């Protein structure tokens, strides 16, 4: 093992033309609307964790037998669980809408010889696909297919 290097070994020979300012929070940090949206976006991770715990409980009780499964299904019809799942759906919709707004900005300028469609067309395609998948899943879960 070699000897430790000098702390200034990687420093430039002379200082640069501008100094780096120390980091500061903006003056309106907690009350700025954009910060509230970032905080809500971060809190959706906690919401997903709670939804995952509920899913694990459901799967665990599915393996415990028919009595445990029936008790789990009955407990999930409680209004608190229904409200919690509605909140989970709102959280998923919030994240999807944020992603849909970001998606057109992340597309390359050219896809082979063709240019990508305008952002509004990409938005429309994303929302139509989302609505179609939602209807398809609702039909499957309602017992209409399969």
39 and 92 in a single domain? The answer is yes
70 and 137 in a single domain? The answer is no
CB–CB of 9/2 below 8 Å? no
User: What CATH code is carried by the domain that includes residue 69?
Assistant: 1.20.1300.10
Q: How confident is the model at residue 87 (pLDDT cuts 50, 70, 90)?
A: very high
Say yes or no to pLDDT of 143 above 90. no
Count of structural domains within the chain? 2
96 and 75 in a single domain? The answer is yes
83 and 35 in a single domain? The answer is yes
Q: DSSP state, 3?
A: P
36 and 92 in a single domain? The answer is yes
The pTM for the full model equals 0.65
Spatial distance between the Cα atoms of 35 and 43, rounded to a whole number of angstroms: 12
**Exposure letters 67-80 (e unless 16+ CB within 10 A, then b):** eeeeebeeeeeeee
Tokens 């809190």 locate to 43
Residue 43 three-state SS = helix
Spatial distance between the Cα atoms of 112 and 75, rounded to a whole number of angstroms: 53
Q: What is the pLDDT of residues 51-64, one digit of tens each?
A: 999 999 999 999 99
38 and 79 in a single domain? The answer is yes
Domain that holds residue 130: 109-146
């Amino acid at each position: 093992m070699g000897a430790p290097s000098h702390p200034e070994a990687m420093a430039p020979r002379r200082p640069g033309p501008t100094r780096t300012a120390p980091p500061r929070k903006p003056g309106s940090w907690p009350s700025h609307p954009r910060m509230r949206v970032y905080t809500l976006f971060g809190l959706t991770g906690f919401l997903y964790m709670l939804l995952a715990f509920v899913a694990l409980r459901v799967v665990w009780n599915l393996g415990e037998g028919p009595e445990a499964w029936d008790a789990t299904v009955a407990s999930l019809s409680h209004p608190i669980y229904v409200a919690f799942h509605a909140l989970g759906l709102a959280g998923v919709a919030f994240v999807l809408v944020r992603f849909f707004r970001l998606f057109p900005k992340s597309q390359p300028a050219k896809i082979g010889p063709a240019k990508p469609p305008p952002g509004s067309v990409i938005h429309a395609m994303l929302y139509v696909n989302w609505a179609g998948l939602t209807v398809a899943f609702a039909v499957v879960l309602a017992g209409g297919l399969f």
